[in-house]
């Protein structure tokens, strides 16, 4: 009998003897990995959204500066970067 077969048999026997809640926790590990993967993807999406919000905030800030104090080249640059990101 190979090592893999022995381990598989022992795991099967152990599962048969374990209380239900413990077996559920063991099975739940797979779903936890899936949940972590989903959460990591959501965190990345959140980071991208936060970056877009920061860019939009820069645009709004530049546009709220009075016309006589505004650096039009800077406004054009900020608007250009924002439009490229769309």
Calculate the average pLDDT of the chain.
80
pTM of the predicted structure, to 2 decimals: 0.48
Neighbours of 78 (CB within 10 A): 19
| Lowest-confidence segment of 5-9, 34-38, 54-58 by average pLDDT | 5-9
- Which pLDDT score, from 0 to 100, does residue 15 have? 63
Q: Where are the chain's structural domains?
A: 3-85
- Which pLDDT score, from 0 to 100, does residue 41 have? 94
pLDDT in tens, 15-53: 667 677 776 777 777 777 888 888 999 999 999 999 989
- Which pLDDT score, from 0 to 100, does residue 43 have? 95
Which residue blocks in the chain are alpha helix, DSSP H?
3-17, 20-64, 72-85
Residue with tokens 């650096």: 71
């Amino acid at each position: 009998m190979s090592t893999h077969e022995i381990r598989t048999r022992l795991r099967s026997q152990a599962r048969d003897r374990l209380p239900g809640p413990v077996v559920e926790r063991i099975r739940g590990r797979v779903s936890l990995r899936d949940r972590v993967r989903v959460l990591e993807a959501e965190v990345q999406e959140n980071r991208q959204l936060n970056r877009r919000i920061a860019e939009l905030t820069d645009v709004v800030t530049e546009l709220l500066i009075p016309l006589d104090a505004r650096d039009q080249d800077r406004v054009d640059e900020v608007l250009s970067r924002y439009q490229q990101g769309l």
